[in-house]
């Protein structure tokens, strides 16, 4: 048994050793137009994701008044999104494996569109909640499928930047929803959520399926055609096609992975990395701070409207810069810089609330709180926001990608719910203690990244997966 496992691991590594691609020749022949177009279509799903996430904040008073909802009824409407996303996360991997990456994008677009229409026509809490649950389900599927699809179609030198565009579109959509929601009726804002879904479904007719998924399902002719369409008609795809095909054939010799198989020795490290990064991303406090930014600013004595605008602009700018530099600076350095900034941001915010609690240097409290929160948001946007999704899309072998990706995405959404649910309770217990806890968790994230996370910059998916799982 041990010899068989060793042989399998050697087989996985074998096709990677002989890889010698003439980069100069490739850059002359290869066209990335279809890669960029495919990425644009895919990140329309990310924009739809952000539209769902940003909807409830600017519409609370209007929906509550128009439909005569109680605070409890609106709270259910807001929180049920996360439960829908968890269901979407559980099913996203199997759906993407069964009907393909494009098929999964279509499924999530349909759920989001139906959900938005249910919200638009809602005359009471039941239709409102059903619509919100449906959009949450679409979010959960999008959160897994979009980065995986982009990672599987992109050349290794563009993969990080293109996958990071997923997070950029999410934060852009959240910010846009907040702005539009303040000047647009809530029903019209719901209709705008359908627009990216329509663009996505239309665009899917013009882009190829993931070549790696086609190879895995045995569609060899379609695999070659999709890879050639992505790389350009004059590109030499022979070496890349051979590497993907050899790797897929080797993985096919292994048993089909089930959920419990993820904890076998050969896959355990990649699962720990993928799930661990999602824990670091969510349990460091981002959703509590994100959902309650206005109340944090108000508690610290800073104008909430001004603080929220600065927050949104900072998040968009730094996330865009992250997308530009992730393939140059590398994943691991950006994660470490981000985690250090998160610790410092939490400690500054904790200090501001400590001073306020004990009435020491009250004039400095607003400046410290704003500096801490903005440092936290900027640091999160610089690495911890996008890069866990980039690495998650890179590290899992394709035979376990569905099950492992669903697990990592489920952990992410569970963390989002847990932090947003407990944040107000923690804040009422101890305002400065809350941020000290988050600082400690982000400090643990630094250790995790140093010890466990590999640098994946400039390597093919097959090289990454063989190195980790070998």
Predicted pLDDT at 17: 39
pLDDT of residue 254: 67
Q: pLDDT above 70 covers what percent of the chain?
A: 90
Among the listed residues 215, 77, 80, 196, the one whose alpha carbon sits nearest the alpha carbon of residue 142? 196
Pick 197 or 249 by higher pLDDT. Answer: 197
Confidence of residue 6 (pLDDT cuts 50, 70, 90): very low
pLDDT of residue 194: 97
pLDDT band at residue 328 under the 50/70/90 scheme: confident
The tokens of 179 are what? Answer: 């702005």
pLDDT of residue 470: 61
Which tops the pLDDT comparison, 135 or 64? 135
In this prediction, residue 257 has a pLDDT band, given cuts at 50, 70 and 90, of: low
Dihedral in degrees, nearest 10, Cα atoms 51, 274, 457, 32: -40
Q: Is the pLDDT of residue 20 over 70?
A: no
Q: What is the pLDDT of residue 10?
A: 45
> Which residue is listed with tokens 């994008």?
105
Q: How far apart are the first and last CA of the chain?
A: 16
pLDDT at 7 over 60: no
Judged by average pLDDT, the poorest of 12-26, 78-92, 313-327, 397-411 is 12-26
pLDDT (tens digit per residue) in 218-242: 898 999 999 999 998 888 888 889 9
Which of these ranges, 150-154, 322-326, 333-337, 414-418, has the smallest mean pLDDT? Answer: 322-326
Instruction: Report whether 346 contacts 438 (CB < 8 A).
Output: yes
- Could you tell me the pLDDT band of residue 11, with boundaries at 50, 70 and 90? very low
Which residues are CB-contacts of 13 (< 8 A; sequence separation ≥ 6)? Answer: 466, 470
291-305, pLDDT tens digit by residue? 667 667 777 677 767
Residue 314 pLDDT level (bands cut at 50, 70, 90): confident
**Which of 104, 120, 109 is closest to 202 using CA atoms?**
109
Please name the residues in contact with 337: beta carbons below 8 A apart, sequence gap of 6 or more: 379, 382, 383
Burial grade of 299 (CB within 10 A; 0-12, 13-18, 19 or more)? middle
Output the 3-class SS for the chain.
CHHHHHHHHHHHHHHHHCCCCCHHHHHHHCCCHHHHHHHHHHHHHHHHHHHHHCCHHHHHHHHHHHCCCCHHHHHHHHHHHHHHHHHHHHHHHHHHHHHHHHHHHHHHHHHHHHHHHHHHHCCCHHHHHHHHHHHHHHHHHHHHHHHHHHHHHCCCCCHHHHHHHHHHHHHHHHHHHHHHHCCCCHHHHHHHCHHHHHHHHHHHHHCCCCHHHHHHCCCHHHHHHHHHHHHCCCCCCHHHHHHHHHHHHHHHCCCCCCHHHHHCHHHHHHHHHHHHHHHHHHHCCHHHHHHCHHHHHHHHCCCHHHHHHHHHHHHHHHHHHHHHHHHHHCHHHHHHHHHHHHHHHHHHHHHHHHHHHCCCCHHHHHHHHHHHHHHHHHHHHHHHCCHHHHHHHHHCCCCCHHHHHHHHHHHHHHHHHHHHHHHHHHHHHCHHHHHHHHHHHHHHHHHHHHHHCCCCCCCCHHHHHHHHHC
Mean pLDDT of 134-141: 95
* pLDDT for res 29: 57
For residues 207 and 202, give the distance between their C-alpha atoms in angstroms, rounded to a whole number: 10
Q: Are 389 and 166 in contact (CB under 8 A)?
A: yes
d(CA 294, CA 299): 9
Arithmetic mean of pLDDT, 37-45: 96
Q: Does 160 have pLDDT greater than 80?
A: yes
pLDDT at 448: 97
pLDDT at 459: 86
Per-residue pLDDT, 312: 78
pTM of the model: 0.79
Question: What angle (nearest 5°) sits at the alpha carbon of residue 146, between those of residues 141 and 150?
Answer: 155
Distance CA 372, CA 285 (A): 13
Residue 326 vs residue 407, higher pLDDT: 407
The per-residue pLDDT for range 166-200, each reduced to its tens digit, is 988 998 998 888 778 878 899 999 999 999 999 99
User: pLDDT of 347-361, one tens digit each?
Assistant: 999 999 899 889 888
Q: Check residue 388 and give its pLDDT.
A: 94
């Amino acid at each position: 048994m041990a010899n068989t496992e060793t042989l399998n691991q050697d087989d996985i590594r074998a096709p990677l050793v002989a890889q010698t691609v003439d980069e100069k020749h490739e850059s002359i022949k290869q066209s990335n137009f279809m890669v960029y177009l495919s990425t644009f279509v895919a990140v329309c799903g990310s924009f739809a994701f952000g539209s769902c996430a940003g909807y409830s904040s600017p519409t609370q008073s209007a929906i509550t008044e128009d439909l005569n909802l109680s605070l409890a009824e609106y709270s259910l409407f807001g929180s049920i999104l996360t439960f829908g996303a968890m269901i979407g996360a559980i099913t996203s991997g199997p759906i993407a494996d069964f009907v393909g990456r494009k098929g999964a994008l279509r499924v999530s677009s349909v759920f989001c569109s139906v959900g938005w229409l249910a919200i638009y026509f809602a005359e009471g809490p039941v239709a409102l909640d059903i619509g919100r649950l449906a959009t949450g389900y679409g979010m959960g599927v999008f959160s897994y499928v979009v980065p995986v699809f982009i990672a599987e179609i992109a050349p290794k030198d563009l993969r990080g930047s293109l996958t990071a565009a997923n997070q950029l579109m999410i934060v852009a959509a959240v910010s846009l929803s907040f702005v539009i929601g303040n000047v647009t009726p809530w029903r019209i804002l719901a209709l705008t959520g359908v627009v990216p879904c329509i663009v996505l479904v239309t665009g899917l007719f013009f882009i190829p399926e993931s070549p790696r998924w086609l190879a895995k399902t045995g569609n060899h002719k379609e695999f070659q055609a999709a890879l050639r369409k992505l790389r350009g008609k004059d590109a030499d795809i022979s070496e890349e096609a051979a590497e993907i095909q050899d790797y897929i054939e080797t993985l096919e010799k292994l048993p089909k992975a089930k959920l419990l198989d993820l904890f076998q020795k050969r896959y355990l490290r990649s699962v720990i990395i993928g799930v661990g990064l999602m824990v670091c991303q969510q349990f460091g406090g981002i959703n509590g701070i994100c959902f309650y930014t206005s109340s944090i600013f108000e508690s610290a004595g800073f104008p909430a409207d001004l603080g929220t605008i600065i927050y949104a602009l900072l998040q968009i700018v730094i996330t865009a810069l992250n997308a530009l530099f992730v393939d140059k600076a590398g994943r691991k350095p950006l994660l470490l810089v981000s985690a250090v900034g998160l610790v410092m941001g939490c400690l500054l915010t904790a200090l501001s609330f400590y001073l306020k609690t004990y009435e020491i240097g009250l004039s400095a409290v607003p400046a410290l709180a704003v500096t801490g929160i903005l440092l936290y948001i900027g640091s999160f946007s610089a690495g911890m926001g996008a890069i866990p999704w980039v690495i998650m899309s890179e590290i899992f072998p394709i035979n376990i990608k569905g099950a492992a990706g669903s697990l990592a995405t489920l952990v992410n959404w569970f963390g989002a719910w847990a932090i947003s649910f407990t944040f107000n309770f923690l804040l009422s217990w101890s305002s400065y203690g809350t941020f000290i806890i988050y600082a400690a968790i982000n400090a643990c994230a630094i250790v995790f990244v140093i010890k466990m996370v590999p640098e994946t910059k400039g390597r093919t998916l097959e090289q990454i997966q063989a190195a980790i799982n070998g």
